[in-house]
Amino acid sequence: MTKVTIDGLQHVNNVDIAYSMTGTGPPLLLLHGFPQTRAMWNAIRPILATSFTVVTADLRGYGDSTKPKSMADMSFRHMAADQLALMHSLGFDSFHLAGHDRGARTAHRLALDAPDALLSLTMMDTIPTHLLLNELSQDVARTYYHWFFLSQPAPFPEHMILADPDHYFESCLLGWGGSQLSDFDPDMLAAYRHSWRNPDCVHSMCNDYRAAIDIDFHHDASDLAKQVSCPSQMLYGATGPMAQRYDMDQAWAPHLSNMTTQAISGGHFFVDQFPEETAAALQGFLQRDSPSA
């Protein structure tokens, strides 16, 4: 049976959050990362929609969602509050949650701030923000230089990026795990380009990284003793920079008390490269280990 997809814009937490919803079954929220939009889930959403009500949403500052001007408004705490309010507005008091990259960091913050809302947590190719910044090594700093470039005071990085946004952001897509542009679906890539060519989006993305250092690091430092207790899964690219530089089990064990990890073919953008393998890993975890809504 064909699943009808609803595309909407919901006003929550003083911002408008763009979302798409399709399928039937327990609710599952999927959050994208940098420098992408909710379009990254387009190949996965139909697979999961056979068993779940799948909601994909643009983080504040990205895609078609509101792009705040203030750096303080781009913290993961604000992003998490947006997504929690979105799901509540759609009628879901509790839900499964999966996020990639910045979406994974948002998901972790939501799990810390509203643990009763989550049936399960899946994070994709990320390590704790506090760990990355507090124990920074030379090789990580070189690979993830963008954390420190984007976090420079405005308008320096914005000005440089907007001289040729496609060149800059495509270098990000290609630089973290050996991707090629042909790995990215043309329609999805067009959605990414439409977003990152917007000067307001570029400013918000820079503020996302500024907030990670100036705000999120301190939030995470205050919560180092907290553990997420719901069933949790860490998926990571087998050839990506995270897997090359960190032991993913060791990195997340202090923060997730009920955790499994699994490597997926490809690099950091394995969701785009290998959507069917990613969907199978996510669906297997949700149906095997997580309670239904």
Give me the active site residues, please. 101, 268
CB 58 within 8 A of CB 194: no
d(CA 94, CA 149): 37
User: Measured at the alpha carbon of residue 14, what is the angle toward residues 119 and 29, in degrees to the nearest 5?
Assistant: 25
DSSP state of 228: B
| Amino acid occupying residue 255 | H
Residues constituting the chain: 293
Nearest to 246 by CA among 109, 139, 171, 107: 139
Residue carrying the six token digits 């030379």: 138
SS3 187: helix
Helix, strand, coil tally for the chain in percent (to 5)? 50, 20, 35
Whether cis (ω within 30° of 0) applies to the bond prior to 155 is: yes
Q: What is the CA radius of gyration of the chain?
A: 17
Q: How many CB atoms lie within 10 A of CB 277?
A: 16
| Amino acid occupying residue 5 | T
Nearest to 207 by CA among 29, 103, 86, 76: 76
d(CA 12, CA 161): 30
